[in-house]
């Protein structure tokens, strides 16, 4: 959602391989907050989605809108999402979201999102997504395929 | 958005013809309200959209999801929208939205929405929509066509 | 969000005690769906919030807007939320959401939400919420307290 | 919503006085688009709200969250909003929103928003807002006051 963001390669996970980390700063808006004056929980899942698209766009150099066509897939739908809300984010807060793929599995991959507010971790989230190919035998249907090696390579840090 | 709504035929406009009036009651939710404790203005435009689809579904007996296919059109996109906010709606308020087409024009039609909160008019809105046919010479493009007479007849009160 | 909903007492959990089950039907709206034509994942967390407020309103007979004042608390904020997306919900689908508290813990409680689309379970969600009292020593802060026994009693099925 | 935005002073209106113009670039996100693949109309009103807060923050040097307290008011609520949708904005489009106050009236002020997509005007919007003081005789109520001269001065271009 921003032009003025930065990204850097960072992070080490279980397999000892560091994956690309996308970092994105933005301001919390009035309409994203509820009567308690804090961001309504569903909005964080919007932020996570933005974070994932930003991550792929940067790592692969493919625009979000061209992504499905570029890889011949139906998309990368979320099949599981979760978040822990540790501290609130308020109207006007400038926050930082970091997004990183933390695991590639045979039929899904896991994206971790961390939202930093005033230098402290405020929300920690996970999305499980699938690399959704169209089912050739039944086109409207989709099937989960492994993320291609070439895509994984772009998401790895050398 | 509700099963428990009622509709009745009502309303007389400039041309002396009464159009179908759709009436729909719902409750204002926490996530629709902002830090001032009132519904954030953009949400009313969501309500208007819901109101228009409900109006067409009831008057024509066609499900919203089947609408475009049933009439061979691309859709009924909004080209102009406006609202006056006269009084706030708050979390938990049970409100009533009435929606009615108030004018059919050669290349558009006008839907009026009125939101009643605690027996008083709280928001008055308008959507200008087009009956959007696909442009045969250039398929991704759309062209505004008159609303078919058979559709208008269903929206009129005898 | 609806007047025309029904509720019934149902469900048995680990402790052998059945809790109140709130059942709520509504229609999926155009603005809740994404370019894939299905409900965008963050919207389901809005539905869960609606489901929890509806559950409390019905079980306790207290309006959502009066809830915090009636029990002298700051609110019932979500500290953890998750969902599994098993099947899509599409524009115009009439869906049913069931919401039920499945566990009362010393410092939190767990609400389970199940969204049924075309007679099949489409989304399964969880919210961990706290019964948030204002911290007397530091008023803007909140502390998690046990849900009062009188409240639990209303949420139990006799 | 972005750090990487720029602002410049620009624009001349009826009274021959140019007002501060705030310019803000951002990317259209998946969850902001509907099944037609374009931004759902209510989302533009969120963008307008963001534009107005950005405009005030830049012109006055006051953070959005401190705004009401800094000026001793209840807020700057929208009493009227409208938009014309001339061309669609799609997922991944990098768009530019310009926001500018175009009229100060005794009991309200008018903000104009213009959204540029692919170098063409796609949406033109207006918000009528009030400078809302708390009614001293009846505190929960608000009254519309003129925007203070010192504030107007900051919004003018020398």
B34-58 tens-digit pLDDT:
998 899 999 999 999 999 999 999 9
For residues A100, A103, A109 and A115, what is the CA-based torsion angle, rounded to 10 degrees? -30
Q: Quick check: C96 pLDDT over 90?
A: yes
- Rounded CA gap, C21 and C49, in Å? 15
Q: Do C23 and C116 meet the contact criterion of CB atoms below 8 Å apart? A: no
Alpha-carbon distance C158 to nearest alpha carbon in chain A (angstroms): 33
D49-97 tens-digit pLDDT:
999 999 999 999 999 889 999 999 999 999 999 999 999 999 999 999 9
* Predicted pLDDT at B154: 92
Mean pLDDT of all residues in C98-112: 96
- Rounded CA gap, A131 and A142, in Å? 9
Q: In terms of pLDDT, which residue wins out, A31 or D137?
A: A31
Q: Inspect the interface and report whether the beta carbons of B65 and C31 lie closer than 8 Å.
A: no
* Predicted pLDDT at B17: 57
Q: Inspect the interface and report whether the beta carbons of B64 and C30 lie closer than 8 Å.
A: yes
Looking at chain C, the whole-number percentage of residues with pLDDT higher than 70 is 87
* Predicted pLDDT at D158: 46
C27-81 tens-digit pLDDT:
999 999 999 889 999 999 999 999 999 999 999 999 988 999 999 999 999 999 9
The CB-based long-range contact list for A142-147 (8 Å cut-off, 24+ gap) reads: A142/A74, A142/A75, A142/A77, A144/A107, A144/A108, A145/A73, A145/A107, A146/A104, A146/A106, A146/A107, A147/A104, A147/A109
Give the active site residues of D.
34
Q: How confident is the model at residue C157 (pLDDT cuts 50, 70, 90)?
A: confident
Whether chain B has a CB inside 8 Å of the CB on C3: the answer is: yes
Mean pLDDT of all residues in D12-41: 84
Q: Inspect the interface and report whether the beta carbons of B31 and A42 lie closer than 8 Å.
A: yes
Whether chain D has a CB inside 8 Å of the CB on A72: the answer is: no
Whether A34 sits among the annotated catalytic residues: the reply is yes
Q: Inspect the interface and report whether the beta carbons of D78 and B85 lie closer than 8 Å.
A: yes
Q: Quick check: C6 pLDDT over 90?
A: no
Q: Inspect the interface and report whether the beta carbons of C91 and B65 lie closer than 8 Å.
A: yes
Q: In terms of pLDDT, which residue wins out, D157 or A145?
A: A145
C115-138 tens-digit pLDDT:
999 999 999 999 999 999 987 787
Identify all chain A residues contacting C78, using CB atoms and an 8 Å cutoff. 41, 85
pLDDT in tens, chain B (158 residues): 343 344 333 344 445 557 899 999 999 999 999 998 899 999 999 999 999 999 999 999 999 889 999 999 999 999 999 999 999 999 999 999 999 999 999 999 999 999 999 999 999 999 999 999 987 787 778 899 999 999 999 998 74
- Rounded CA gap, B19 and B7, in Å? 12
Q: Quick check: C5 pLDDT over 70?
A: no
Alpha-carbon distance A7 to nearest alpha carbon in chain D (angstroms): 14
Interface size, chain A vs chain D, as Cβ–Cβ contacts under 8 Å: 73
Q: How confident is the model at residue C1 (pLDDT cuts 50, 70, 90)?
A: very low
Q: Which two tokens stand for residue D28?
A: 């259209």
Counting as contact any 3 or more CB pairs under 8 A, the partners of B are: A, C, D
Helix or strand or coil: residue D88?
coil
Identify all chain A residues contacting D127, using CB atoms and an 8 Å cutoff. none
Of A34, A37, A91, the CB nearest to B30: A34
Local structure of residue C38 (DSSP, 8 states): B
Q: Which 8-67 residues of chain D touch chain A by CB within 8 A?
A: 25-27, 29-31, 46, 49-50, 53, 63-66
Following DSSP, what letter does each residue of B98-156 receive, concatenated? EEEEEEEETTEEEEEEEEEETTEEEEEEEEEE-EEEE-TTSTTSEEEEPPPHHHHHHHB
Q: Inspect the interface and report whether the beta carbons of C35 and D40 lie closer than 8 Å.
A: no
Identify all chain B residues contacting C90, using CB atoms and an 8 Å cutoff. 65
The verdict on pTM exceeding 0.80 is yes
Q: Which two tokens stand for residue A111?
A: 């994206």
Alpha-carbon distance D83 to nearest alpha carbon in chain B (angstroms): 5
* Predicted pLDDT at D14: 47
């Amino acid at each position: 959602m921003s032009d003025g963001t930065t990204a850097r390669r960072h992070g080490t996970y279980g397999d000892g391989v560091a994956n690309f980390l996308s970092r994105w700063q933005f301001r919390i808006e009035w309409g994203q907050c509820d009567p308690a004056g804090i961001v309504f929980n569903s909005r964080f899942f919007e932020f996570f989605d933005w974070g994932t698209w930003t991550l792929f766009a940067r790592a692969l150099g493919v625009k979000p809108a061209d992504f499905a066509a570029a890889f011949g897939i139906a998309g990368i739908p979320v099949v599981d999402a979760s978040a822990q809300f540790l501290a609130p984010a308020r109207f006007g807060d400038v926050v930082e979201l970091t997004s990183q793929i933390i695991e590639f599995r045979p039929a899904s991959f896991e994206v971790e999102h961390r939202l930093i507010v005033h230098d402290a971790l405020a929300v920690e989230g996970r999305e499980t997504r699938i690399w959704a190919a169209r089912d050739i035998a039944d086109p409207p249907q989709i099937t989960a395929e492994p993320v291609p090696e070439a895509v994984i390579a772009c998401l790895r840090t050398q």
